[in-house]
Structure 1
Amino acid sequence: MRQPFVAGNWKMNGSRETATELLEDVVQGLVSSHCEAAVCPPYVYLADGLRIAKGSELVLGAQNVSEEESGAFTGEVSASMLQDFDCRYVIVGHSERRGLFGESDETVARKFMAAARQGLRPILCVGETLEEREQDVTEQVIRRQLDAVLNAAGVHAFVEAVVAYEPVWAIGTGQTASPEQAQAVHAMIRARVAEADDTIADRLRIIYGGSVKAGNAAELFARPDIDGGLIGGASLDADSFLSICESANSASTQ
């Protein structure tokens, strides 16, 4: 059985004071369970995350990583630097990186490989815009994004990775793909990876990221190919995030 996974993407929110309080509340609220929980705070709060999460059930991730190992790349952060803060995960290819910062499929693939080389577990984000969904090209878009990494890194690089399906039209909008819509895309992603290696596909955790909240998490996580969530706004509230983690844990025992 795949271990459910819930990761909080804090994006560019909070202050050191609020980040510390949130980290402490999440650590205190997490109990030993089947669900793996991670938070991805801004880079500048990773040191506080390392201190507060040490010895707890919570693991750390980062929101982005450079494709380069070192050098004259002002403002960038390498995978080895993230390892210094005990990061286990790193998000690559988030729709905001693709859309706002112009990251191509090829750039995302290079970041995926840079993270994997240093022992980090990439959370690879894929997803379609509203226009692409209305044009009925969701599958083509996601296959293109996924194939860029499969072709560059190989299917075995997905043994430790996570794939996050995040329909761009449902991020921060309050809209959410129906459980049936989300399940269909998750199943398609798993089937695509299975074309290369069905054993890896069976073990691959595919999580949903699109306005997941405490109120809809249980219904989403009950679907057979949805293994958890990449949580945006709801991860900034400890009670909401912990409730989502509990929904993932409950779904895994049913």
Structure 2
Amino acid sequence: MAPGFTIGVSLKMYFSHVHTLAWCREVRALVGSHPAIRSGAVELVVLPTFPALVPAHLTLGEAIRVGAQDLSVADDGPLTGEVGGPELAEIGCSHAEVGHAERRTLLGETDRTVGKKLAAALRNGLVPIVCVGEADQTDPESAARTVSEELHHLLGPARADGLHGRLVVAYEPHWAIGRPESAPLDHITTVCGRLRDDLRGDADFPDSHVIYGGSAGPGLLSALGDSVQGLFLGRFAHDPHALAHVLDEVHTLKEVNA
């Protein structure tokens, strides 16, 4: 059975290798035995850069999961600079992020590419962290329709190949990324509610989670309650104590809903 919440942390390319491992050591010391993790209420997934994946996995320990920030559409072959799903699984990754807005805008990734990467993750036993989100701020209902259609298209290649498995769908409105605050609460709950409805009862993707990213930080999960199933954190988790605070929020929500 999947945990109740997913908390993802992408380190992007902010830290040096030495800084990354120092952060991992501090995170393990602070939250490695946190009651939310120990009870199985939450899966904590850290996504460092490719060179740091192996030492980060060893440093964080078994209780904290490690994922990649990207993966290739192919499993192997003459693809210079790419990393395939089989190798990521071999070195201990449990998750792989696909479709982040930065890769779309800076590197030109399309829905077709992202859908193939999602399929590649499932094909290799990795849980895809699938990023979806609208480019421009609109009303919540319009945004919900947009991202629902986006997710439908992204799942197409996996369905066509007969692939199935668990997903973590990260709703990250592009216009909220990098801002001082997250999207408005009613916007988040409306869009995430639509995505959860889309996935509820989908036999191909059981036990999937819908989480929120986009300037997410401490305090947001408490405000959202059980309308989301976790957060995807960026710079607000650079301080390990802030990450510990988010896990405290998970533990409190679990106790309230018990």
Whether 1:47 aligns to 2:54 is: yes
Tell me the equivalent position of 1:227.
229
1:131-170 equivalence runs, <5 A:
131=137, 133=138, 137-154=142-159, 159-170=165-176
The residue identity in structure 1 corresponding to 2:132 is: V
Cα drift, residue 11 of structure 1:
0.5
Cα drift, residue 3 of structure 1:
1.4
Tell me the equivalent position of 2:12.
11
Q: 1:76 to 1:116 in 2, by over 3 A?
A: same
Normalised by the length of structure 2, the TM-score is 0.88
Tell me the equivalent position of 1:211.
215
Q: 1:124 to 1:135 in 2, by over 3 A?
A: closer
Normalised by the length of structure 1, the TM-score is 0.89
- Counterpart-to-counterpart distance in 2, 1:20 and 1:117: 30
Deviations 1:165-206 (A, max 9, x none): 011111111131122211100111122234xx4567783210
- Counterpart-to-counterpart distance in 1, 2:106 and 2:9: 20
Cα drift, residue 218 of structure 1:
1.6
- Counterpart-to-counterpart distance in 2, 1:48 and 1:205: 27
Q: Do the aligned partners of 2:176 and 2:183 also contact (CA within 8 Å) in 1?
A: yes
- Counterpart-to-counterpart distance in 1, 2:9 and 2:169: 14
The residue identity in structure 2 corresponding to 1:82 is: L
Instruction: Give % identity.
Output: 29
Cα drift, residue 135 of structure 1:
10
Q: 1:160 to 1:136 in 2, by over 3 A?
A: closer
Cα drift, residue 80 of structure 1:
1.0
Q: CA RMSD in A?
A: 2.2
Unaligned runs of 5+ in 1: none
- Counterpart-to-counterpart distance in 2, 1:177 and 1:202: 28
- Counterpart-to-counterpart distance in 1, 2:89 and 2:140: 41
**Higher RCO structure, 1 or 2 (CA under 8 Å, sep 6+):** 1
Unaligned runs of 5+ in 2: none
Q: Which runs of 4+ in 1 moved over 6 A?
A: 199-202
Cα drift, residue 99 of structure 1:
1.5
- Counterpart-to-counterpart distance in 2, 1:61 and 1:125: 14
Q: Do the aligned partners of 1:125 and 1:163 also contact (CA within 8 Å) in 2?
A: yes
- Counterpart-to-counterpart distance in 2, 1:184 and 1:202: 21
Deviations 1:24-66 (A, max 9, x none): 11111112242111100011111211221233x2110110000
Whether 1:116 aligns to 2:122 is: yes
Q: 1:186 to 1:135 in 2, by over 3 A?
A: closer
Tell me the equivalent position of 1:20.
21
- Counterpart-to-counterpart distance in 2, 1:42 and 1:123: 15
